[in-house]
């Protein structure tokens, strides 16, 4: 099979999740053999709905257990790793920090240590991309975030991503592993079944003929990118690891535009062709959330040539169409 990843064996953690399923599909289409470690098996996921599971090598392995990870890397001759698996819901992290820290921090250093171990045994891995988050920056008075900004995370989820970020770059610097870190803005698109998030929840409400509920005052602002742009960003960062001088870098990936919760719901309503209005039920910023987050993606645009191709309105229209096809 021809393609950008023809002949490569890629391990994708978190492939059953939202962004991971988009990345997995793209890797398969580009000719990769994709190995997916699995702990749980969600009943509903884009990974299954799009027929991706049947195209992958799905293996039983939990990231908090080191030995199975090392076995999988060895036995499948993995040469590329995309580490996206994480407990990603802020509210869940606030309620249950221990399980979030176990999954996000311990899972990350176990995987990185397994990569280091197989490399020292004569099976080097060429590319390791680790997903951090814009939330690793914490709250800053000055926006947008640039890569040299201090990581000032305070809430459990944010801290877990900041720790993952620093551990990954430590492995690159200390052990010369080909590691890079991605710090993505809020990603939206079809296949996100975490309905605590504003875009999928609003799409589901609109399809039911109900007003989308906003559980803040609608003022918190975020930077949003469409899932296809996020995937292209992951592949671009992976390609950069062929250049040793770029290893150990962190890269911001965002659109650079601040959009309030009320605005994104309003634009999704417009994409749906609905005349409903948002139902604003909250006050201020929800506990454990950051009020304003925006990324400066100048570095990756100038050095690697990545930039988002999807406008917000076009991406929201595609997203709404996906949920309409699946949920109705």
Is 286 part of a structural domain of the chain?
A: yes
Average pLDDT score, the chain: 95
Percent of the chain with pLDDT over 70: 99
Same domain, yes or no, for 289 and 272?
A: yes
Same domain, yes or no, for 209 and 303?
A: no
Same domain, yes or no, for 250 and 281?
A: no
Same domain, yes or no, for 175 and 234?
A: yes
Q: Where are the beta strands (DSSP E) in the chain?
A: 9-13, 33-38, 57-60, 80-83, 127-131, 179-184, 186-188, 213-214, 221-222, 224-226, 250-253, 259-260, 279-280
Same domain, yes or no, for 130 and 271?
A: no
pLDDT at 41: 79
User: How far is it, in rounded angstroms, from Cα 133 to Cα 252?
Assistant: 9
pLDDT at 3: 87
What is the CA angle 124-240-191, rounded to 5?
A: 95
Same domain, yes or no, for 81 and 54?
A: yes
Same domain, yes or no, for 275 and 152?
A: no
137 is known as an active-site residue: no
Is 1 part of a structural domain of the chain?
A: no
Is 193 part of a structural domain of the chain?
A: no
Closest CA to 8 of 113, 109, 112, 82: 82
Which pLDDT tens digit goes with each residue over 208-241? 999 999 999 999 999 999 999 999 999 999 999 9
Tally the domains of the chain. 2
Is 113 part of a structural domain of the chain?
A: yes
User: How far is it, in rounded angstroms, from Cα 164 to Cα 148?
Assistant: 17
pLDDT at 49: 95
Same domain, yes or no, for 304 and 214?
A: no
Residue 155 C-beta-side C-alpha neighbours within 13 Å? 21
Sign of the alpha-carbon torsion through 246, 152, 12, 27 = negative
Q: Burial of 92 by CB count in 10 Å (0-12 exposed, 13-18 middle, 19+ buried)?
A: middle
Same domain, yes or no, for 31 and 169?
A: yes
User: How far is it, in rounded angstroms, from Cα 272 to Cα 252?
Assistant: 30
pLDDT at 9: 98
**Domain range enclosing 269:** 198-220+257-293+319-327
Same domain, yes or no, for 89 and 116?
A: yes
Q: What is the mean pLDDT of each run of 10 residues along the chain (328 residues)?
A: 88 97 98 94 90 97 96 97 94 92 97 94 93 96 96 96 98 97 98 96 98 95 98 98 97 97 98 96 82 97 98 98 96
Same domain, yes or no, for 146 and 120?
A: yes
pLDDT at 42: 81
pLDDT at 136: 97
Which of these is catalytic: 5, 137, 155, 157? Answer: 157
Same domain, yes or no, for 151 and 271?
A: no
What are the Cα distances from residue 137, in Å, to 73, 87, 107, 113, 165? Answer: 31, 18, 21, 25, 10
Is 273 part of a structural domain of the chain?
A: yes
Is 16 part of a structural domain of the chain?
A: yes
pLDDT at 1: 58
CATH code where residue 56 lies: 3.40.50.720
What are the Cα distances from residue 228, in Å, to 24, 32, 128, 190, 318? Answer: 12, 18, 20, 10, 11
CATH code where residue 262 lies: 3.90.25.10
pTM above 0.85, yes or no: yes
């Amino acid at each position: 099979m021809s393609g950008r990843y023809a002949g490569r064996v890629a391990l994708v953690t978190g492939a059953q999740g939202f962004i991971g399923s988009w990345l997995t599909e793209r890797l398969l289409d580009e000719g990769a053999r994709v190995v997916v470690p699995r702990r749980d098996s969600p009943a509903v996921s884009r990974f299954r709905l799009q027929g991706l599971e049947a195209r992958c090598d799905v293996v039983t392995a939990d990231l908090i257990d080191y030995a199975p990870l090392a076995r999988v890397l060895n036995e499948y001759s993995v040469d590329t790793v995309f580490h996206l698996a994480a407990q990603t819901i802020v509210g869940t992290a606030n309620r249950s920090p221990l399980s979030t820290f176990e999954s996000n921090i311990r899972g990350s250093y176990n995987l990185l240590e397994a990569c280091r171990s197989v490399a020292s045994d004569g099976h080097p891995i060429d590319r390791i991309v680790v997903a951090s988050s814009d939330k690793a920056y914490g709250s800053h008075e000055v926006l947008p975030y640039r890569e040299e900004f201090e990581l000032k995370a305070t809430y459990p989820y944010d801290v877990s991503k900041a720790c993952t970020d620093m551990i990954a770059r430590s492995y690159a610097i200390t052990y010369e592993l080909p590691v890079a870190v991605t710090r993505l803005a809020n990603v939206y698109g079809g296949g996100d079944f975490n309905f605590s998030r504003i875009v999928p929840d609003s799409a589901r409400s609109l399809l039911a003929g109900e007003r989308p509920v906003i559980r803040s005052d609608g003022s918190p602002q975020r930077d949003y990118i469409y899932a296809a742009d996020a995937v292209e960003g992951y592949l671009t960062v992976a390609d950069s690891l062929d250049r040793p001088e770029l290893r150990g870098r962190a890269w911001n990936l965002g659109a650079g535009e601040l959009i309030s919760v009320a605005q994104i719901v309003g634009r999704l309503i417009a994409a749906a062709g609905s005349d409903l209005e948002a139902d604003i039920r909250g006050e201020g910023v929800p506990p454990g959330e950051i009020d304003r987050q925006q990324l400066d993606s100048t570095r990756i645009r100038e050095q690697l040539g990545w930039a988002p191709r999807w406008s917000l309105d076009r991406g929201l229209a595609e997203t709404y169409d996906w949920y309409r096809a699946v949920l109705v």
